[in-house]
């Protein structure tokens, strides 16, 4: 590390020109989910961080505001608002730090709680594994579910009855809706304002749309209107929430490794690996990443 305590580095406080650009959950700069990363945001207030995120236009930008060794305070802003936790920006930031300081263990203090991250080198790739905060899975009110389906223009008959709707949390709240067919998942044209209004009312970060290809393989999409983005290309927080959902509903065994494919319908394919461990309710999400440009 260039500095063991105080601010996260030796450079001057960040400005928009200091934003690093990484993609998470893909080794291809044209795949996965792009994120902004500011390794020293100690001189930026909330308004400035939001302005940086809005100018960049990615679904989230991560800002390191304090550091103590390999422990950091991290904040996440979409173009419209701060969010409590963002998985892909966490992975992007961890890989950026590993490129600067070497692989190993990191600890991120987020608004949602403490998130440990381990970065390991596998061949030519760096892979980051985040461990979620304690998850929760709850029912969704029938009227709210009906409104979500109406905003998506998804008939209830198009849902997979073996994967019932739930709200799942592993750092942020996501509504999990499972499509019965891959064609249903691929056909996404929703009422942005209507879905955004519902999500604000019931405190959702994204809607996790899912289609099950096999016992442990899923395809997912994530509308993100509350962040000012039509769709998120690869969503680590939602992947963690889905892992909690899958275990809670016994969709998979208590200990399992799930593969989530996301971004294919957007032309930005990415892969998220979700690990569930027996005796540990937290969820681990792993992915690679690379610098853009």
- Residue 60: active-site member: yes
Q: State the sign of the Cα–Cα–Cα–Cα dihedral 13, 57, 202, 158.
A: negative
Phi, psi of 99 (to 5 degrees): -65, -35
d(CA 245, CA 230): 24
262, 233 contact by CB (below 8 A): yes
The active-site residue, picked from 30, 47, 55, 60, is 60
263, 33 contact by CB (below 8 A): yes
Spell 33-71 as b/e; 16+ CB within 10 A means b. bbbbbbbbbbebeeebbbebbeebebbbbbbbbebeebe
Owner of token pair 């400035």: 48
What does the DSSP 8-state code read for residue 105?
Answer: E
Q: Which residues are catalytic?
A: 60
């Amino acid at each position: 590390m260039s500095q063991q305590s105080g601010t996260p580095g030796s450079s001057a406080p960040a400005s928009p020109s200091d934003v690093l650009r990484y993609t998470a959950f893909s080794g291809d700069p044209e795949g996965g989910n792009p994120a902004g990363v500011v390794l020293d945001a100690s001189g930026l207030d909330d308004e400035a961080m939001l302005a940086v995120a809005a100018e960049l236009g990615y679904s989230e930008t991560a800002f390191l505001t304090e550091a103590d060794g390999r422990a950091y305070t991290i904040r996440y802003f979409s173009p419209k608002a701060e969010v409590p936790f963002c998985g892909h920006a966490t992975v992007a930031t961890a890989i950026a730090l590993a490129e600067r300081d070497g692989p190993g263990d990191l600890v991120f203090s987020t608004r949602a709680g403490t998130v440990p991250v381990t970065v390991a080198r596998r061949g030519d790739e760096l892979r980051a594994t985040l461990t979620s905060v304690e998850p929760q899975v709850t029912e969704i009110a029938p009227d709210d579910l009906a409104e979500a389906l109406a905003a998506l223009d998804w008939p209830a008959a198009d849902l997979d009855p073996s994967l019932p709707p739930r709200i799942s949390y592993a750092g942020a709240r996501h509504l999990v809706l499972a499509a019965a067919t891959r064609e249903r998942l691929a056909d996404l044209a929703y009422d942005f304002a209507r879905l955004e209004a519902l999500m604000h009312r019931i405190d959702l970060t994204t809607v996790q749309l899912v289609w099950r290809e096999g016992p442990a393989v899923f395809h997912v999409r994530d509308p993100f209107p509350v962040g000012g983005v039509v769709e998120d290309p690869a969503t680590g927080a939602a992947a963690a929430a889905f892992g909690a959902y899958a275990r809670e509903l016994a969709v998979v065994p208590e200990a399992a490794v799930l593969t989530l494919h996301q971004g294919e319908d957007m032309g930005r394919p990415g892969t998220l690996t979700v690990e569930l461990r027996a005796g540990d309710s937290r969820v681990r999400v792993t992915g690679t990443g690379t610098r853009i440009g």
